[in-house]
Amino acid sequence: MRVAFQGTEGAFSEEALLKTFPEAIPVGFPTFHQVFSAVTTGEAEYGVVPVENTTAGIINQTYDLLLETDLHVIGEIVLKVEHCLLAPKGTTLESIRKVKSHPQGLAQCDGFIARYKLEGIPVYDTAGAARELAEHPEPGMAAIASRRAAERYGLQVVLEGIQDFTGNYTRFFVLARHDEPRREGPYKTSVVFTTRHRPGELLAALQAFADQGINLVKLESRPRRDPDKPFSPIFYVDFEGHAEDPGPSQALLTLLRRASFVKVLGSYPAALGWGLGSK
C-alpha cells in the first residue's frame, strides 16, 4: 500500500505515516499539492498531511487544499515533534551561523534561533534540509530536523530538543478518496462553512451545535480566496461525534439552513490521548 506525504525520507510526516501504516510504502512529494493530487488520481491509496502544530499554529496550505479538493478526512494522527540541530560530523555549536529547515520547523524553534543569533533559511522539508546539508555541506550551515533524519543522512546531532516548547505536537490528517467503514471508539468530525455578512450570523451557525449539546474542539477562520470579497472569512470547525449520529446530523441540517456554504471534510476516529481521548 502506497501512502503519500510531503517531504523526503526522515521527515516528521513520514514518521506520523508509519505510526499509523507501519507496513505501508511511504511515497514522498515536494509539495502538499502533489500529495493531494497523488491521492486524488490513485497514485497513492492514502495521504498524510499536517494540519496544525501546538507551537506554530495551523498549516494554511493544507486547510486551503481541503476546501478545494474532494478528498475525505478519514483519520487523525498526533505526533510529538522533537527537533534537533544537525550538522556534518565535527561541527561545533559555536561555528554555526545559519540553519535551514521547513518554515514550520523554523517557527517551532524561533526562540532557539534568536538566542544563538542564527539566520533561518526556509526550505521545503526538514528532512530535505538534512539531506541537502549532507550532500552539499557548507561552512557554518546546520539543519533543523529529526534524529531519524540525522541517522538516515549521516549527520551529527549537535543539540537535541531545541523546539521552544516541550509540548510540541503536530496533528496530521489521513486523506482518502472515499470514506472508510465506521469503527468502534470516539469520533470527531471536521466541517468548513461560511456565513452571510450580517451581525449574529456566526453565533447563529454555532448555536446549531450548542442546541444539540455538541462540544466544539476547534474553531479556526481563514480568509476566503475570493477576489471580490477579500478577507471574507471561512470557518473550520471540529466537533465531537460522527456526522451520522443523531445529534450531529441534526446540527448539520440546521447549519445548512443558517450558513451560506457548508462542506463536511470527514468523520474519523479521534486520536487517543488527544482531544476526546484526554477525558
Q: Could you give the residue numbers annotated as active site?
A: 170, 172
**Three-state DSSP class for 171?**
strand
With a CB cutoff of 8 Å and minimum separation 6, the contacts of 68 are none
**How many beta carbons lie within 10 A of that of residue 144, not counting itself?**
27
Q: Which three cell numbers stand for residue 198?
A: 450580517
CB 146 within 8 Å of CB 127: yes
Positive/negative CA dihedral, 60, 52, 13, 55: positive
Of 124, 126, 123, nearest to 163 (Cα)?
A: 126
CB 183 within 8 Å of CB 242: no
The DSSP bridge partners found for residue 119 are: 98
With a CB cutoff of 8 Å and minimum separation 6, the contacts of 209 are 216, 237, 239, 251, 255
| 246, amino acid identity | P
For cell 546539508, what's the residue? 133
Q: What are phi and psi of 244, to 5 degrees?
A: -90, -5
What's the gap between Cα 184 and its chain centre?
A: 24
The DSSP bridge partners found for residue 120 are: 99
